[in-house]
């Protein structure tokens, strides 16, 4: 691992100026969208670091195995498609030599480079031609493949699931996938039985009483309780920039010293290297994990109507 002691050795695309320019107005809904994108990118990082990335060698091996089985069973035929590359210069077409097969390390390195380019794209302005010849300036980060789709694991209480709303979820969002994965599994789970003949106030009061008893039994106090200043705290921490720095460090095998990173991120001395190490970076790492309690609490906050 390469340790970075000087600010000048940190890539310029991670600078404050780029992030300040790109995220001038960062609402909680915009922040939700941006953190969702980093969840997706961080999952790719984990595949690379944990050596669970699917490489071409595995595909080739499976294809050969499939060919043997097909030949043995004589039921299917394997069709091989050859792709040729060509270049035309002055009207003359020239066939290029096929690219040599890539090694596992080459494929992994390409994925690493792609992840770095993704980090760069988060703060890169793009241009688009219009029919009248003018160019519109837009931010690439404003676009997403699946509008409204995110890794939202925020429900603090597992929703009461029945046949009607379960299938409604499935029809509205084809990507909807819950754990447990089917209605029968939900029925087997511990349930909260509610007598709806009573008023909402009576039910809520009873639930609060049960909650007090449960916390005493489990000896567990709430960790996530402060909601009013939570989003402002994330923005003051420059949380998106810190998350991108963590992804960049992980995928490029670098480590910026905490005091150096504090000076890079907070030149006015808002936070120290010790605060980065003990508070801001642990928070950022938890937010990168879409399944963490921190991410769940974040989605709970941004989804609140007030």
The model's pLDDT over 156-213, given as tens digits with 9 standing for 90+, comes to: 454 455 555 555 655 655 555 544 455 555 455 545 667 888 898 998 888 888 888 8
Q: What is the pLDDT of residue 256?
A: 96
Per-residue pLDDT band at 9 (split at 50, 70, 90):
very high
The length of the chain is 306
Q: Write down the domain spans for the chain.
A: 7-65+101-136+223-306
Q: What is the pLDDT of residue 59?
A: 43
Q: What is the pLDDT of residue 69?
A: 45
- The predicted-structure confidence for 231-262, as pLDDT tens digits, reads as follows 999 999 999 999 999 999 999 999 999 999 99
In this structure, how many other beta carbons lie within 10 angstroms of the beta carbon of residue 239?
A: 22
Average pLDDT of span 269-292:
94
Query: Which tops the pLDDT comparison, 208 or 305?
Result: 208
The answer to whether residues 91 and 104 touch, using CB atoms and an 8 Å cutoff, is no
The answer to whether residues 291 and 153 touch, using CB atoms and an 8 Å cutoff, is yes
Average pLDDT of span 218-232:
81
- The predicted-structure confidence for 116-150, as pLDDT tens digits, reads as follows 999 999 988 766 566 666 555 545 444 444 333 34
Q: What is the pLDDT of residue 173?
A: 54
- The predicted-structure confidence for 46-103, as pLDDT tens digits, reads as follows 988 887 765 544 444 444 544 444 444 444 444 444 556 777 887 888 887 777 777 7
Query: Which tops the pLDDT comparison, 44 or 98?
Result: 44
Per-residue pLDDT band at 286 (split at 50, 70, 90):
very high
């Amino acid at each position: 691992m390469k340790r970075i002691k000087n600010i000048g050795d940190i890539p310029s695309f991670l600078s404050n100026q780029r992030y300040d320019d790109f995220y001038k107005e960062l609402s909680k809904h915009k922040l939700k969208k941006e953190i969702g994108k980093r969840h997706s990118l961080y999952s790719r990082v984990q595949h690379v670091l944990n050596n669970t990335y699917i490489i071409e060698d595995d595909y080739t091996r499976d294809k050969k195995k499939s060919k043997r089985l097909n030949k043995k069973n004589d039921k299917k035929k394997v069709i091989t498609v050859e792709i040729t590359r060509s270049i035309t210069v002055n009207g003359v077409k020239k066939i290029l030599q096929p690219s040599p097969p890539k090694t596992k390390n080459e494929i992994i390195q390409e994925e690493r480079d792609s992840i770095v380019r993704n980090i760069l794209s988060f703060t890169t302005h793009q241009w688009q031609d219009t029919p009248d010849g003018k160019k519109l300036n837009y931010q690439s980060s404003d676009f997403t493949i699946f509008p409204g789709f995110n890794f939202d694991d925020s429900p603090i209480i597992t929703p009461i699931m029945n046949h009607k709303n379960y299938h409604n979820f499935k029809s509205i969002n084809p990507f909807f996938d819950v754990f447990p994965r089917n209605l029968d599994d939900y029925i087997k789970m511990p349930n909260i039985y509610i007598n709806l003949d009573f008023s909402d106030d009576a039910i809520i009061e009873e639930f609060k009483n049960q909650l007090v008893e449960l916390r005493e039994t489990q000896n567990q106090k709430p960790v996530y309780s402060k909601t009013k200043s939570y989003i402002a705290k994330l923005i003051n921490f420059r949380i998106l920039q810190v998350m991108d720095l963590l992804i960049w460090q992980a995928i490029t095998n670098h480590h910026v010293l905490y005091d150096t990173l504090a000076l890079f991120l907070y030149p006015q001395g808002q936070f120290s290297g010790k605060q980065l190490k003990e508070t801001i970076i642990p928070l950022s790492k938890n937010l990168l994990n879409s399944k963490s309690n921190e991410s769940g609490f974040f989605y709970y906050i941004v989804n609140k109507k007030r």
